[in-house]
Amino acid sequence: MTSPENQDAMLPTPEDRTPENAQTENPKTSAAVDASTAGSTPADARSLSPDDADLSGIRGWLFDLDGVLTPTAMVHMHAWSRLFTPYLEQHGAEPYTESDYFAYIDGKPRYDGVRSLLESRGISIPEGDVTDAPDDDTVHGLGNRKNEAFNQTLAEEGVEAYPASVAFLDAVIASGCRVAVVSSSKNAEPVLAAAGIDDRFEVIVDGLVAARDGIRGKPAPDTFEHAAELLGLPTTACAVVEDAESGVRAGAEGDFGLVVGVDRGVGRDALRELGADVIVDELDELLPAVHRAAAATDGDASAANDRTTASPTPEPEPREDHA
Ligand SMILES: [Mg+2]
């Protein structure tokens, strides 16, 4: 992802990104700082920090929804628990725990989640089909029961998008990038509407689209690849943003320009091993990299016009033109 010609656009590490240093930094000292601090975090050797991320080749952002843009993972987790806690008890199986959610369910299409969890307990029931009633003791019936619990909770409590994610979303849109939502959920549109961010997205590839068009769900990369195609961009110009094991795996499996792992509970080590290139706790950690890439693009345009020598003290790049 980090190509040699783009190294000059890198920012120093956070401790060096003070107003004073911003005036005097140059690529050589930045590179030296990066090299010296890299040794202090050997566990991160394979993953770039947000400050090192080079986004100059990224023209599209493919956002997972639950857990990345909205804290709906909590709503889903509660709904799954409401489904499986009594169900496993009735079947005399090992009790349902939060770790079951991360291991068998998180990020997968709903019926796949049901199937995986039941397999983990050695429970075999008929598949049924999508028209099964929520009371039916089938894989699809249980999935529909879970969906009912989810919609009840969403209606009762609503959902608010992560502020840092909205700030990042608006920044990449302002920088000229295209954006899409790629979610396994069949409730992506009501969730985006409840969070008030549905107007930001021109492309939504969710569980309904995947089912309708016969596209394999995560951990296959297909839904992300489909979104890139709908945006009219090659996958290599798109970044995948994910918080779930299955989603990061999908991103790593495809030929994407970047895979950003948002750590909402999976853990940094796990995200790294699954193939995340950059790992953040909140997406606004990547704002400097977005501004840097936008400034580099602007700089290239200026240079093409008339500038032939670089300024020895480049201006810091405020780019707050997004509303
Ligand atoms: Mg997610």
- Answer for the pair 281, 42: CB distance below 8 angstroms, yes or no: no
List all residues 6 or more positions away from 39 whose beta carbon is below 8 Å from its beta carbon.
none
pTM of the complete model = 0.69
Q: Residue 293's pLDDT is what?
A: 93
pLDDT-based confidence at 7, cuts 50/70/90?
A: very low
What interhelical angle do 110-120 and 139-157 show, nearest 10? 120
| Cβ < 5 A residues, ion ligand 1 | 64, 66-67, 243-244
pLDDT-based confidence at 271, cuts 50/70/90?
A: very high
> Is the predicted pLDDT of residue 41 greater than 80, yes or no?
no
Distance from Cα 36 to the centre of ligand 1, integer Å: 34
Distance from Cα 64 to the centre of ligand 1, integer Å: 6
* Distance between CA atoms of residues 3 and 190, nearest Å: 40
DSSP 314: P
Which helix (H) or strand (E) segment is 269 a member of?
A: helix 268-274
Q: What is the mean pLDDT of the chain?
A: 82
Q: Residue 302's pLDDT is what?
A: 64
- Answer for the pair 180, 204: CB distance below 8 angstroms, yes or no: yes
Distance from Cα 92 to the centre of ligand 1, integer Å: 30
Distance from Cα 294 to the centre of ligand 1, integer Å: 27
Report which of residues 269 and 40 the model is more confident about: 269
Mean pLDDT over residues 295-317, rounded? 57
DSSP 206: -
pLDDT in tens, 75-110: 888 899 999 999 999 999 999 999 999 999 987 889
- How much of the chain is in helix, strand and coil states, percent to nearest 5? 55, 10, 40
Distance from Cα 80 to the centre of ligand 1, integer Å: 14
Catalytic residues: 64, 66
Q: Residue 49's pLDDT is what?
A: 87
Report which of residues 221 and 40 the model is more confident about: 221
